[in-house]
């Protein structure tokens, strides 16, 4: 058998080759030089427009469903359709702007990435402002189109459902956001991407599905926030949804922080690495 044939067979038997990965350094806490870069403002515009579109599509779906089901409960898209609207819209938008801004479209995701040292404080604050303004504008467009129906049908605002306590609502928001941000970290992990480089996994897909399944679980409890901008936009335009609004900020921020720390310290083993470094240093003293 020719030598070249042997090498070919050996390579094929070895299976897919792993691609080396590179972890970017932690983002600086304060990076004012970003203010001089067009890439920052392009990212802010992308986050604003994407959040506007997200709120427009999702809140319009909620209002449409409630309008159609007024006479007969089986009319309209139902909870399943609402969940699909939120999840599929996120999938589309993350696909569209992921290469420009990272495709956060959610202050909780942005805050989680800040905790994970993926973003500077400046970019984090500006992203959250852009997302909140986009959400308000998106819901305002829905109100302008649907008219009186918007106010009569609750404005798509989040609230703790009857039969559930504030603590239960807070817990649902924490857990739902944990699932989402955990998925974001896992889907964008450079180590996982390199290890599974031979598997054609589209990053926005698991993120969109995470939003979808969390909505299925949480709509009956809080209407599903897991996105402070989404909750704020509906509350501002509806104007009557401020009771217990704080849980739609505190819950997602706690869930995002927990997911970021879990991924960073446990899954990526940074806690064990730090402990091992401490022990080795102590042994040489």
Is 107 buried (19+), middle (13-18) or exposed (0-12) by CB count in 10 A?
A: buried
The CATH number of residue 78's host domain is: 1.20.1080.10
Question: In the prediction, which pLDDT does 93 show?
Answer: 97
Which of 179-182's residues contact partners 24+ apart within 8 Å by CB, and which partners?
A: 179/210, 179/213, 179/214, 179/259, 180/106, 180/108, 180/109, 180/207, 180/210, 180/211, 180/214, 180/226, 180/255, 180/259, 181/108, 181/109, 181/112, 181/255, 181/256, 181/259, 181/260, 182/259, 182/262, 182/263
Question: In the prediction, which pLDDT does 12 show?
Answer: 43
**Is residue 68 a part of any domain in this protein?**
yes
**Is residue 284 a part of any domain in this protein?**
no
Please, which pLDDT band fits residue 2 given cuts at 50, 70 and 90?
A: very low
pLDDT per residue over 234-273, tens digit each?
999 998 888 899 999 999 999 999 999 999 999 877 666 6
Coil vs helix vs strand at 186: helix
Segment 166-179 mean pLDDT: 97
**Is residue 40 a part of any domain in this protein?**
yes
DSSP 131-184: HHHHHHHHHHHHHHHHTHHHHHTGGG---PPTT--HHHHHHHHHHHHHHHHHHH
Structural domain boundaries, residue 80: 35-268
pLDDT per residue over 180-196, tens digit each?
999 999 988 877 666 66
Rounded to the nearest angstrom, the gap between the alpha carbon of residue 155 and the centroid of all alpha carbons in its chain is: 22
> How many structural domains is the chain composed of?
1
Does residue 279 register a pLDDT over 70?
no
Question: In the prediction, which pLDDT does 60 show?
Answer: 95
**Is residue 4 a part of any domain in this protein?**
no
**Is residue 246 a part of any domain in this protein?**
yes
Please, which pLDDT band fits residue 6 given cuts at 50, 70 and 90?
A: very low
**Is residue 171 a part of any domain in this protein?**
yes
CA dist 12 and 23 (Å) reads 29
CA dist 134 and 113 (Å) reads 20
Segment 100-114 mean pLDDT: 96
**Is residue 111 a part of any domain in this protein?**
yes
């Amino acid at each position: 058998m020719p030598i070249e044939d042997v090498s070919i067979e050996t390579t094929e038997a070895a299976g897919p080759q792993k691609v080396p990965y590179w972890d970017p350094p932690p983002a600086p806490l304060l990076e004012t030089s970003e203010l001089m870069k067009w890439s920052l403002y392009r990212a802010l515009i992308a986050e604003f427009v994407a959040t506007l579109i997200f709120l427009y599509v999702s809140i319009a779906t909620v209002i449409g469903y409630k309008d159609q089901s007024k006479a007969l409960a089986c009319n309209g898209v139902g909870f399943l359709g609402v969940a699909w609207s939120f999840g599929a819209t996120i999938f589309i938008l993350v696909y569209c702007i992921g290469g420009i801004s990272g495709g956060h479209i959610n202050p909780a995701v942005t805050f989680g990435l800040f905790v994970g040292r993926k973003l500077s404080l400046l970019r984090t604050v500006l992203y959250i402002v852009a997302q909140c303004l986009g959400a308000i504008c998106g819901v305002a467009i829905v109100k302008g189109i649907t008219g009186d129906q918007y106010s009569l049908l609750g404005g798509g605002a989040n609230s703790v459902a009857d039969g559930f306590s504030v603590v239960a609502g807070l817990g649902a928001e924490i857990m739902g956001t944990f699932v989402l941000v955990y998925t974001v970290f896992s889907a964008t992990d450079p180590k996982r991407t390199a290890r599974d480089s031979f598997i054609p996994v589209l990053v926005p897909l698991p993120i969109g599905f995470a939003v979808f399944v969390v909505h299925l679980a949480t709509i009956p409890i809080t209407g599903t926030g897991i996105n402070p901008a989404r909750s704020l936009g509906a509350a501002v335009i509806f104007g009557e949804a401020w009771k217990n609004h704080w849980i739609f900020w505190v819950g997602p921020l706690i869930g995002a922080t927990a997911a970021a720390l879990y991924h960073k310290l446990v899954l990526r083993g940074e806690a064990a690495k730090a402990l091992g470094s401490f022990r080795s240093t102590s042994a040489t003293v």
